[in-house]
Amino acid sequence: MNGERLGRLRDLLVEARVEGLIVSALPNIRYLTGFTGSNALALVTRDDTVFFTDGRYKVQASLEVRGAKVIVAKASLVRALMGSVKRRGLRRLAFERRRASFELYDTLRRGLKGCRLQPLAGAVEKLRAVKSAAEIAIIRRAAELNSKVFETSLREIRPGRAEAEVAARIEYNMRKLGAEKPAFETIVASGARSALPHARPTHKLLTEKELIIIDQGVILDGYSSDMTRTVAVGDLGRRAKRVYQAVLEAQLAAIAAVRAGVKARDVDRQARITLEKHGLEETFVHSTGHGVGLEIHEAPRLGRSEKVRLEAGMVITIEPGAYLGGFGGVRIEDMVVVTERGCEVLTPTPKDLRVL
């Protein structure tokens, strides 16, 4: 598994005309070597891969790391890495432009005088965007577990409970039902607060006849899931129902546009065109979706100006929303896997408006 991934990365390094890549982002290190700990660096050259960690992870690294030589550094990982670079006589290396800290870059620059350091953006992320069948199988289970948690938690929603309490119950159910942990801070936003796309749960109490946005995700075997549903306690007014139907229509239109070869921005466009028909285009203030995998937000991004073409095996969210200040908001989010002919929705939770 790691060998194939490292092979594809080496092709990208040849393309970038570098002799190797210094990998500092932990999700990228995990993807390439299997290591799940919190302190590591990796040096991927055209000929070999060296993995660096500290003494706390000696045993864990021997159990997890495959396809790389493991070096347990006595002091700083960067110093150990620079030693390997010098021993190999490498003169042109890339580092992760968006992920390396300034401190790492500065130490490398000072310590590797004879080596040219070149920023490289998104190389490992590009590989990670297209999932293997095994990865898709894990993500499918993560999406299913997330939906199960949602169904269980819905029974615990009632007027008079605070948003924060509902969020806490959801996160409790995640672990209870088998998740590693939440993939992000669970969002429960009710009434006028549902007009805030990234609201934090507060001690506001749920009341009848208001929109409630619930955005939740679990991590299972390292992979994230992500789903949003908008529900109501007690019957909603006409305006809220109209907004709900418009967002659902936009979500279905965007899903229908997903297919290998289509530009990400064209999927986003379908959601916007649909909301425009309902006079809601101004209320959709974020992009239509994002990739999901070892991280909750990863490549590709489905925004207005994203020219990247979707590929079979990409796992993305489709999550248009409408946010009306002072009134409330609706968002509906599923995860889908891109196929040659379209896509498969991985989120099993129904999307008709649920009135609790």
CB of 72 to Zn ion, least distance (A): 37
Which residues form the interface with Zn ion (CB under 5 A)? 215, 226, 228, 317, 333
Question: Residue 190 class from Cβ within 10 Å (0-12 exposed, 13-18 middle, 19+ buried)?
Answer: buried
CB of 66 to Zn ion, least distance (A): 31
Residue 67 vs 217, nearer CB to Zn ion: 217
Kindly state the DSSP code that residue 41 receives in the 8-state scheme.
E
Residue 253 vs 316, nearer CB to Zn ion: 316
CB of 335 to Zn ion, least distance (A): 8
Distance CA 101, CA 167 (A): 33
Nearest to 123 by CA among 36, 23, 264: 23
CB of 319 to Zn ion, least distance (A): 5
| Amino acid (one-letter) located at 167 | A
Residues facing residue 313 across a β-bridge: none
Distance CA 134, CA 139 (A): 9
Distance CA 116, CA 94 (A): 8
Residue 172 vs 184, nearer CB to Zn ion: 184
Residue 228 vs 251, nearer CB to Zn ion: 228
* Exposure on the CB side of residue 229, measured as CA atoms within 13 A: 20
CB of 345 to Zn ion, least distance (A): 14
Report how far apart, in Å, the C-alpha atoms of 48 and of each of 19, 22, 88, 176 are. 11, 12, 10, 42
Residue 173 vs 317, nearer CB to Zn ion: 317
Written as six digits, the tokens of 196 are 């805030």
Residue 18 vs 145, nearer CB to Zn ion: 145
Residue 53 vs 228, nearer CB to Zn ion: 228
CB of 228 to Zn ion, least distance (A): 5
First to last CA, the chain: 46
Q: Where are the beta strands (DSSP E) in 133-226?
A: 181-182, 187-190, 210-216, 218-220, 223-224
CB of 355 to Zn ion, least distance (A): 22
